[in-house]
Amino acid sequence: MRNLPSPDMGTPDVRSPARYLTWLVRKHWQSVLLGLVYGVLCMLGQALVPAAVGRAVDEGLAARDQDALVYWGGAVLLLGVVQAVTGILRDRASRAAALGASYLTMQHITRQAARLGATLPRKVSAGEVVSTGVADITQIGGALESTARGGGGAVAIVAVSVIMLTASWELGLVVLVGVPLMAWATALLLRPLHRHQRSLRDEQERLNTRAVDIASGLRVLRGVGGEEAFARRYREESQRVRRAGVRVARVEALIDGAKVLLPGLLVAFVVWLGARYVLDGRLSPGQLVAFYGYAAFLTNPLRRLTDTADRTMKGYVAADRVVRLLSLEPALSSGPLKPGALDGAATLEDPASGLTVEPGRLAAVVCATPEEAAELADRLGRFTDSGAVYGGVPLRDLPLEEVRRRILVADNDAYLFSGPLRETLSPRGGAAEAAADSGGDGAWDRALAAASARDIVEALPDGPDAQVIGAGREFSGGQQQRLRLVRALLADPEVLVLVEPTSAVDAHTEARVADGLAAVRAHRSTVVFTTSPVVLDRADHVAYVEDRAVEAEGTHRELLTHARYRAVVAREDPV
């Protein structure tokens, strides 16, 4: 599998989830290493406290030595300060690693979505993309964040075990055997947890997909009375998510219980055995206090190790999703020619249908069926592989970015993204248009006038700075269509391909749009797939396509003598 090139963000290793997580660690090795070092120092500070307390009991309290008591009391205070300072630095460094990994993953997901383009919705559901971009990046960040605490816990366990073996090899051996047994017993529960988490993740993905479908098609659902049916399906799928979540929670509850029960049993056994050793004279009271502190302390690093294993497993599941998304390849590849191989606007041709679009003309295409119009528009914009030619160069030989820059296909499935309206519609974020429009004669004003959308903007409380929410669902179908046309006109491509741009507006608005389109695109090539007589009458050239081939060409008035063309345009039965 070819890795994704990314000179500014690095090249992610997408061969496996483990390799991807390792790559993230390498990218943020400084934060991860600092977090690990501070985590070790923090846990060692905690681990040495029982030893200092034990010495204070034996050398200070039992021996009635005030100086020794003050000395070891100061040692406990110093260890507390070290623990507090290093704990803050540990959390700061580990959080930086977590956020860096999450944001870097989000950047690659966003770049991959842009790279895949039209391929993305054909291979991945909208729900999966949402879940990956929201939940999975958090889990991946959590996996890196847990390394500092987990590493510190592991070192602390080793250090305490060495101290205990030095003081009493029997009690040290109990701890050395007991801690791995507890970790093994807890790890037995991680495998079913892993399985249930995958199941929950799959159910959440399907539910997110259903929610996206309902939200995007709510207007249609209300029109056909399908709200109740989709609501019933959503309730059923949400119940499956709930049941999957309960299964995960059941295993997590068992793990949480094991985290408390098993260390508690170990502490109780160590204290009982240590008390016997004190009675036998094999341990001093201070050593018993220290051993109790060790045993109680070990519950903390053990929980950290278990938590690290749990979060690492969740991160692995999330990384598996991310790797699958990043491993997808576009259905179309870029051609071998360098960008800029063409010089200026040129003729666009589709040999399969015989359609030719001359530069600087407003061409209209009438197709016998909507399916033919969609297929032909995809070929002209190279959303499907074809023999389409631009300026004598096959589109497949041009870099895909070059094709997208020169030829824009705008249909009624395009989204209006959330954010200020001007930024949503402007390909350059609105800054250039705002500067150009200061005199009232800029691209923004011309695009609004051509799309007959000025009334939409003026009706908004904040005008062009109004916030677009919910993919523009606050606008009617006709308003959305006109705003999408504004965005296409502001992009100002060499060839603009519009698919039924006026199907949702009234006849008067349609006439204004047709006139405005012809004026604002006077020196650019424009292809309009439409059956509207109003638009067709203003086109420089009209082509009628039937059975995927051009059957007739000319002006709209000339083609009215063609029976099948007239039947499609007038929506009547052919003579």
Indicate yes or no: pTM above 0.75. no
Torsion of CA 124, 129, 135, 136, to 10 degrees: 60
- AA letter at 511: A
- Exposure class string for 414-434: b at 16+ Cβ within 10 A, else e: bebeeebbbbbbbeeebeebb
Contacts 24+ apart (CB under 8 A), 160-167: 160/47, 160/294, 160/297, 160/298, 163/47, 163/51, 163/294, 164/291, 164/294, 167/283, 167/287, 167/290, 167/291
pLDDT at 1 (0 to 100): 38
Per-residue pLDDT of the chain (575 residues; tens, 9 = 90+): 344 444 457 788 888 888 988 888 888 888 888 888 888 888 888 878 887 887 788 777 777 778 888 888 888 899 889 889 988 998 888 888 888 888 888 888 888 887 777 777 777 766 667 667 777 888 888 888 888 888 888 888 778 778 777 777 777 777 777 777 776 776 676 667 767 777 776 776 666 666 666 555 544 444 445 566 667 777 777 888 888 888 888 887 887 777 778 777 877 887 788 778 777 777 777 777 777 777 777 777 777 777 787 788 888 888 888 888 888 887 777 777 776 667 767 899 999 999 999 998 999 999 999 899 999 999 999 888 888 999 888 988 888 888 888 999 998 877 788 888 888 888 655 444 444 443 344 888 899 999 999 999 888 888 888 888 766 777 888 898 999 999 999 998 999 999 999 888 888 898 999 999 988 998 889 999 999 999 999 999 999 999 999 999 999 999 999 999 989 988 765 54
Residue 340 placed within a domain: no
Q: What is the pLDDT of residue 367?
A: 94
Question: Is residue 338, in this structure, part of any structural domain at all?
Answer: no
Same domain, 354 and 301: no
- 10 occurs within a structural domain: no
Residues 150 and 51 in one domain: yes
Residue 206 and residue 74 share a domain: yes
Q: Which of 326, 361, 396 is the last residue of a domain?
A: 326
- Do 273 and 357 share a domain, yes or no? no
25, 141 Cβ separation under 8 angstroms: no
CA distances from 332 to 116, 120, 386, 399, 401 (A): 9, 12, 10, 10, 11
User: At which of 326, 361, 380 does a domain end?
Assistant: 326
Give the single-character DSSP code of 355. E
Looking at residue 556, its pLDDT comes to: 93
* Residue pair 72/181 in contact by the 8 Å Cβ criterion: no
Q: Quick one: 276 and 385 in the same domain?
A: no
Structure-block tokens of residue 200: 């929950």
Instruction: Indicate whether 161 belongs to any domain.
Output: yes
Q: Check whether residue 320 and residue 437 sit in a common domain.
A: no
Closest by CA to 312, choosing from 6, 569, 16, 21, is: 21
Helices (H) and strands (E) in the chain, counts: 21, 12
Q: 357 and 321, same structural domain? A: no
Give the CATH number for residue 543: 3.40.50.300
**pLDDT value, residue 223:** 47
Helix ranges, 56-136 (H): 66-116, 120-123, 126-131
Residue 420, sorted as left (phi over 0), alpha (psi -120 to 50) or beta, turns out to be beta
355 lies in the same domain as 320: no
- What are the C-alpha distances in Å from 289 to residues 56, 75, 271, 308? 10, 16, 9, 29
80 lies in some domain: yes
Q: Which of 264, 293, 326 is the last residue of a domain?
A: 326
93/201 same-domain check? yes
CATH of residue 142? 1.20.1560.10
Query: Does 213 fall in a domain?
Result: yes
Whether residue 540 is contained in a domain is answered as yes
Residue 408 three-state SS: strand
134 inside domain:
yes
How high is the pLDDT of residue 487? Answer: 92
What's the structural domain count of the chain? 2
Give the range of the structural domain holding residue 418, as residue numbers without chain letter: 348-570
> What are φ and ψ of residue 284, in 5° steps?
-85, 165
Beta bridge partners of 554: 542
Domain match, 297 and 353 both: no
| Residue 200 and residue 55 share a domain | yes
Burial 352-372 (b: 16+ CB within 10 A, else e): ebebbbeeebbbbbbbbeeeb
Same domain for 105 and 36? yes
